[in-house]
Amino acid sequence: MFRFAPSPTGHLHLGHALSASCVWRAAEAAGGRVLLRIEDIDPVRSRPEFAEAIEEDLAWLGFRWEGAPRRQSEHLDDYLRALEQLDRRGLVYRCRLTRSDIAAAVARAEAARGVRWPRDPDGSPRLPVGDATAADAEAPFALRLDMRKALAELAGERLSWPEEGVGPNGERGTVVARPELWGDVVLARKDTPTSYHLAVTVDDALQGVTHVVRGQDLFEATSVHRLLQRLLGLPTPVYRHHPLLIAPDGHKLAKTRGSPSLRSLRAAGWTPHDVLNAAAAGCSEPFRAQEQST
């Protein structure tokens, strides 16, 4: 079982068309089926009209999925149950620091030590950040995984996953997970009782997903997902990370950089065939080597 899991925070662009082509092609090759999952846990940026547009754009491209899409915002109880499991084992703690608390503490720590404060692979600063002082006890909190305790539960066990695609540094085959590259990742945000890492891990298991096809930008996140699978006793799918489309300015295509949406290309006269052709080459080969994230 395969899935395509966009976030309805904007319109789909060519990068999504590439990802969708990779998903449906891989499913076809394996005789598998595809589910659609709408990852709408961000209460501020997710909008129902984008979710509708996603379905329309995918249908226009000729992609078909099985059953009704799963909307994560309608399944918050599932994530809560997983959180409770981790919480009962003392693996979760409340973090009331705001982004600006963290940024200020990082700036202080960097100025005092003259070295860069360690960051997670997605660029967020590691916690705890030295002298960061939490706001008052009534302030809203996020729930974070206590990475040190989580790694201790593994008692030295090496986690890995089968990779059918390729990581940003050429990783393939059996990839050893490196959750230790991450700090105390957020499992439930202040504004919603889950996070991307938790919801994606729980949903892939609940939906019986056996093959995860997605962009290389999520390659490092797979180490976190693999750890959560182990902690929650969930199966590990096969992963296939595909290279990203690189915009002419050298950055990955992203809606925040104003890359043209599929609907604007369509309005400009592009056919589904044109879109898929433009995206297709990326399924087997990078258009250009992906930049390393810092």
Residue 200 binds ligand GLU (CB under 6 A): yes
Residue whose CB is nearest to ligand GLU in the complex, by number: 214
Q: How far is the CB of 94 from ligand GLU (least distance, A)?
A: 26
Instruction: Considering the complex, state which of residue 169 and residue 256 has its C-beta at the smaller distance from ligand GLU.
Output: 256
- Segment contacting ligand GLU by CB under 6 A, of 2-10, 24-32, 94-102, 144-152: 2-10
Structure tokens at 282: 């990326």
Structure tokens at 45: 């940026």
- State the number of binding residues for ligand GLU (CB under 6 A): 7
Q: How far is the CB of 204 from ligand GLU (least distance, A)?
A: 8
Q: What stretches of the chain adopt beta strand conformation (E)?
A: 2-4, 34-38, 70-71, 92-95, 142-145, 160-163, 173-176, 186-188, 211-215, 238-242
Q: How far is the CB of 163 from ligand GLU (least distance, A)?
A: 14
Q: How many CA atoms lie within 13 A of 75 on its CB side?
A: 20
Count of other CB atoms within 10 angstroms of residue 95: 19
Residue 7 binds ligand GLU (CB under 6 A): yes
- Segment contacting ligand GLU by CB under 6 A, of 1-9, 40-48, 105-113, 260-268: 1-9
Instruction: Considering the complex, state which of residue 218 and residue 234 has its C-beta at the smaller distance from ligand GLU.
Output: 218
What residue type is 252 in one-letter code?
A: K
Q: How many CA atoms lie within 13 A of 58 on its CB side?
A: 27
Strands 238-242, 211-215: parallel, antiparallel or unpaired by DSSP?
Answer: parallel
Q: Please state, in angstroms and rounded to a whole number, the distance separating the CA atoms of residues 291 and 153.
A: 34
Residue 214 binds ligand GLU (CB under 6 A): yes
Q: Please state, in angstroms and rounded to a whole number, the distance separating the CA atoms of residues 254 and 163.
A: 24
Residue 5 binds ligand GLU (CB under 6 A): yes
Residue 165 binds ligand GLU (CB under 6 A): no
Q: How far is the CB of 128 from ligand GLU (least distance, A)?
A: 28
Instruction: Considering the complex, state which of residue 3 and residue 129 has its C-beta at the smaller distance from ligand GLU.
Output: 3
Spatial contact of 65 and 104, defined as CB atoms under 8 Å apart = no
Residue 39 binds ligand GLU (CB under 6 A): yes
For ligand GLU, which residue of 6, 10, 69, 165 counts as binding (CB under 6 A)?
A: 6
Residue 237 binds ligand GLU (CB under 6 A): no
Q: How far is the CB of 265 from ligand GLU (least distance, A)?
A: 19
- Segment contacting ligand GLU by CB under 6 A, of 4-12, 67-75, 76-84, 241-249: 4-12
The partner residues of 119 in beta bridges, in order of sequence, read 125
For ligand GLU, which residue of 109, 154, 181, 218 counts as binding (CB under 6 A)?
A: 218
| Radius of gyration (C-alpha) of the chain in whole angstroms | 20
Spatial contact of 181 and 219, defined as CB atoms under 8 Å apart = no
What residue type is 167 in one-letter code?
A: G
Q: How far is the CB of 215 from ligand GLU (least distance, A)?
A: 7
Q: Please state, in angstroms and rounded to a whole number, the distance separating the CA atoms of residues 148 and 170.
A: 28
| Binding region for ligand GLU (CB under 6 A) | 5-7, 39, 200, 214, 218
